[in-house]
Structure 1
Amino acid sequence: MAAKRKFVVAAVACAAVVAGLTGCSSEDDAFDGMSADDIAKKSFKTSKAADSFRVTGEGKQQGSTVRLSFAINKEGACEGNMSAGKQGKAQLLVVDKATYLKGDDAYWKSTMSASGAGVNKKLDGRWVKSPSNNGSGGGVCDRNDLFKTSDAKDMERGDDADVDGQKAATLVKKESGGKTSTFYVAAEGKPYLLQVETKGKEQGITTFSDYNKPVDVKAPADDEVADVKDIVPAS
C-alpha cells in the first residue's frame, strides 16, 4: 500500500524460459525448476498454514490514505486497527465467533452518513458486537481470502529482491485495466509471502510479517459493548 520501499535487484543473469515464463535460476535458487505460478501456490499454502501472522498495509482510497494493521492466529482470532484520514479510525476484534468494532466519532459519522442514519451517543467509546462470518470476521481477518491459491495464475518471475533484509523471489502479475501486482516470496527458509505491491488505479503495499508469533485476543468486558441495535437508532 503506499509507503516506498527500496528493493535491491539481485545481480544474477537470467536467461531461461521455463513453460513460457521467464525466470531466474542459480545454484542456490530455492525455487529452481518451478514456474512462477507454482511458487505462488506454494507460498500461499505455506503462509495460510502458519500458526499466526501480521498483515499491515497502506494505500489510497477515495482520496484518503488508508492504513491497517492486523494480527491473526490459526483459531481465527484477530485484532487490529484501521484508519482512513477524515473518515476516521476504528479498532476490530474477532474472537469466540464474534466481531467487535469500535470507531472514533469521525468513523461512525462517515459510516452512518453513508447509510443515511445519525450517530447514537451510546456508541461513544464502546464496542459494537455482531456475529462473525464462520468465526473469521471475513476480509482482512480471513486467511482464506488473504491467501487464495486460485489467484496464483498468470504470473511471471522477475529478478530476486531484498525485502527488509530477506531474500525474496519476485512474481509479477499483470491484469486488465493496467493493474500490476508484484508478490515477494521468501527465498530462504519457509516460502512465506512477505509483501504485495500493487500499481495502477489501485496503488498500495501490503506486508506480511511476524509469522508464528503468538496472538492472544480477548473479548471486551460486557459493560464496554453496545447493543448492535444502537448502531442505527430507531426512527
Structure 2
Amino acid sequence: MMWTRKRTPAVLGTLCAGVLVLAGCGDDSSDEPFKGQKADDIAAKAVAATDKAPSVHMKGTAHVKGGNTVRIDVRLDDKGNCAGTMSGDGAKAELLRSGGDLLIKGDRTFWTNSARGSGGNSGDGKKLADQLAGKWVKSPANGADAGLCDKKGFLASMDQDKTERQGMRRGGTEEVGGEDAVLLKKQKGGKQLRMHVATEGKPYILKTETKGSEPNSVTFDEYGKKVEVQQPAEDEIVDPANMKA
C-alpha cells in the first residue's frame, strides 16, 4: 500500500466516514444536555455550526486497506488559509496555502510513492524525489491534494449520503479535549459510528470515530483561532509546469 497523491480523495472519504452518516440521526432521549432535542436535531445543528465556524484544527488517523495508517493534522479557515501535515506508508509532507495554490513539501518517500502511484517505475520515483524532496511544490487549488486544505469542501462531504441518516441514538456525556460532549452513535454492520458534539457554547463537532476493522478518528478543536501561514519566498517554490522533463 502506497501513500500517493491520487489516493487523497479516498483518504478523505475514509476520514470522513464517521461524519458522513452522522449529519442526521434517529431516536433520542430528553435527558440533559440538549433536553428535548432528538439526535437528528443535535447532529444537524453540529454540522451547521461546524460549517459556519471561521476556522478549525482537524487531526485524524485512518487505518485503510492494506494495513497502512494515514494521518492528517491541519489548521484551515474559510478564507483559503491552511497549514499542516499528512503522512502514511513511511511518507510525510507539509501542506501550506494562503488563499491560492496549495504548496506541498514532501520527503523523498512521498515523491517516490507519488511517481509509483502515477504509473512510474523506481527510476522515475528517484528522479522525482531528487528534484522535489524538501522543496515547496505548487499544486493546483482544484487538485486532489487541495481537498485536505479546503474547509468547505471537507465539511460538505459530511452530508453526501442522506440514506445513512437513520437509526442513530444518543449516548451519555463524555469529555473530549477538556470539553463536555454528548455522544451520538450508530451500529452499522461490524462498525460503530460515533460523533461527539459540544454541550456548551456552539454545538461544534469535537470528534468523529469509526470503530471496527478499519478504524478512523478525527478531532476538531481550536474553532475560530487564526490560521498562521508563513508563505515561502518565490525562489523557494517549484512550479512543476516549469520543470524540464
Name the TM-score class by shorter chain. Answer: 0.7 to 0.9
- Within 5 A, what are the aligned runs for 1:1-235? 21-23=27-29, 25-26=31-32, 29=33, 31-61=34-64, 62-86=66-90, 88-117=91-120, 118=124, 119-120=127-128, 121-133=130-142, 137-139=146-148, 141-146=150-155, 148-150=158-160, 153-154=165-166, 155-175=168-188, 177-229=189-241, 234=245
Change (3 A) 1:122 1:150: closer
Contact 1:24 1:158 in 2 (8 A): no
Q: Give the stretch that moved more between structures: 108-117 or 145-154.
A: 145-154
Please identify, of 103-112 and 212-221, the stretch whose mean Cα deviation from structure 2 is larger.
212-221
How many residue pairs match? The answer is 209
Task: Note if contact 2:97-2:149 (Cα within 8 Å) is conserved in structure 1.
Answer: no
> Gaps (5+ residues) in structure 1?
1-18
Question: Secondary structure of the equivalent of 1:116?
Answer: coil
Question: Is the Cα contact below 8 Å between 1:123 and 1:230 reproduced in 2?
Answer: no
Per-residue CA deviations over 1:174-205 (Å, capped at 9, x if unaligned) read: 34x53321000001111111001111232021
Aligned partner of 2:13 in structure 1 is: none
Distance 1:197 1:44, change over 3 A: same
Which of 1 and 2 has greater Rg?
Answer: 1
Distance of 1:63 and 1:140 partners within structure 2:
25
Give the structure-2-normalised TM-score: 0.76
CA deviations on 1:76-124 (whole Å, 9 max, x unpaired) are 21111011142x1011112232111111001111111122221332213
Farther-moved stretch of structure 1 (55-64 vs 205-214): 55-64
Partners of 1:85 and 1:122 in 2: how far apart? Answer: 21
Q: 1:20 to 1:105 in 2, by over 3 A?
A: closer
**1:34 Cα deviation (Å)?**
1.6
Closer/same/farther in 2, CA of residues 156 and 126 from structure 1, 3 Å limit? same
Asked whether the equivalents of residues 58 and 67 of structure 1 are also in contact (C-alpha less than 8 Å), the reply is yes
Identity %: 37
Q: d(CA) in 2 for partners of 1:38 and 1:90?
A: 38
**Which letter does structure 2 place at the counterpart of 1:112?**
A
Aligned CA-pair RMSD: 2.5
> How many Å apart are 1:20 and its aligned residue?
6.0
When residues 91 and 218 of structure 1 are mapped into structure 2, their CA distance, relative to the original with a 3 A threshold, is same
**Shift of residue 210, structure 1, vs aligned partner:** 0.6
Give TM-score scaled by structure 1 length. Answer: 0.79
Structure 1 residue 230, shift from structure 2 partner: 7.0
Task: Flag structure 2 segments of 5+ consecutive residues without an equivalent.
Answer: 1-24
